[in-house]
Amino acid sequence: MTRTELLDLIRNGENSKVEFKRDAIENRALAKELVAFANLAGGAVLLGIDEGGTVAGVTRPKLEEWVMTTCRDKIRPEIIPVYEVIRDMEEGKDVAVVTVERGWSVHHVWHDNHRTYYIRVGSTSREASPEELERLFQQRGSVRAELRPVSGASLRDLDLRRLRDYFQRVRQQSVPLDDQEEEWVSLLANTELLDSGSGRPVATIAGLLLFGTNVNRFLPHAGVDAAAYTGREKDYSAIERASIRGPMTPLISNEHIVENGLVEQTLEFVNRNMKSTTTLAAGGRRIDRPAYPREVLREALVNALVHRDYLLSSTDIELSIFEDRLEVTSPGRLPNGITPERMKVGCRAARNQLLKDVMRDYGYLEHMGMGIPRKIIKGMRDHNDTEPDLIEDGERFILRLLNRPR
């Protein structure tokens, strides 16, 4: 880091990636800040800077050794930071910069035989709540929320018609008779659609999302809120709004869809509200072309349903159709170190592996996990020479499709 870069950090003040500290702090206080940064997106502690941004300089002897010992003794799993000293920020006053990257594990402070997990919220570091901690572990791939049992939900809350179709037609295996409850429980527990660990079979989040008879009784946030607008911004006077609910999977009989799943229901909404462009081919023949290819829309919707964070219970997936674009907003940060740039080249990490596997069994997803580059990006380039926007915005991920070049 250069002196100019450090001056810019100080001038901008403390934020979600920068903390000011004097070097006289206790090692536990330093560990707290570094853990909070590592549990979010990384950051830097500037030692030798007052809270107000005044350069006080570092005075602790053997400061680098003290920092490294703190990271080894007070933080679990251990962190190895980048340590640098910027000399003479003011005459005779040096500043030490201790930088950590986003952790691949969830870190905690270890003090007096007690562990405390911290997260960064704006310009402060605070202890994580149980819900925030659970989401942290999920983001790092340590916890699979989709396998959590849903209190009060049982085998009777799963649609045996859809389950029978899935196991017989899709997976090509035999299934119990409808009245063979123990056999059904055994089959669904072994495929993680039920949880029988407590002695009483309880439907898991994945079981309800995929095959539930009344999904939103137990998971009110499991659906798609769709709206179509006349202009380029959200407006109360929408052309149409719909709260789309139901299980993800369709009910299929004799190779025909008898009841739509969430994907088909949402595509029907798009089809009703999506504009088409008309061109004239040779001979004056009229050709109508939809604003967005069906294959691209399908992939975008399935990705949102499969990869969203179902621990965020206060919001649905949002589908917004505007005059110039279509946006699918999925709750939750990208999991396991995935970034928009990595998605563009096919890097993949499933937050909800069971949902992904079952929807792939139905043919909704690419078996190689290359849906973003092969279907969405390539599909839009071929369709209208536009590049989709992949945006991580706080606790949500937005996929934006354009219906014409910028």
Domain ranges in the chain are 3-128, 146-218, 224-402
Report whether 251 contacts 164 (CB < 8 A): no
CATH architecture for segment(s) 3-128: 2-Layer Sandwich (3.30)
No. of helices (H) and no. of strands (E), the chain: 13, 21
120 CB-near residues (< 8 Å, 6+ apart)? 16, 17, 36, 37, 39, 40, 41, 43
Query: What is the structure's pLDDT at 142?
Result: 63
DSSP designation for 204: B
- Rounded Cα distance, 79 and 315, in Å: 34
What's the average model confidence in pLDDT over 284-311?
88
From the list 326, 87, 93, the residue with the least C-alpha distance to 318 is 326
CB crowding 38-57: b at 16 or more within 10 Å, else e:
bbbebbbbbbbbeeeeebbb
Multiple choice CATH, 224-402, 3.30.565.60, 3.40.50.2300, 3.40.920.10, 2.40.50.100? 3.30.565.60
Whether 139 has a pLDDT exceeding 80, the answer reads no
Q: Is the dihedral of CA 170, 173, 178, 182 positive or negative?
A: negative
Burial of 61 by CB count in 10 Å (0-12 exposed, 13-18 middle, 19+ buried)? Answer: exposed
The tens digit of pLDDT for each residue in 337-368 reads 788 898 888 777 778 889 999 999 999 986 56
From the list 348, 298, 340, 345, the residue with the least C-alpha distance to 319 is 298
The tens digit of pLDDT for each residue in 145-183 reads 898 899 899 999 999 999 999 999 999 999 999 999 999
Residues pairing with 120 in the sheet:
125
Structure token digits, residue 58: 């570092």
Query: What is the structure's pLDDT at 282?
Result: 61
177 CB-near residues (< 8 Å, 6+ apart)? 183
Q: Which helix (H) or strand (E) holds 389?
A: strand 389-393
Same CATH topology for 3-128 and 224-402: the answer is: no
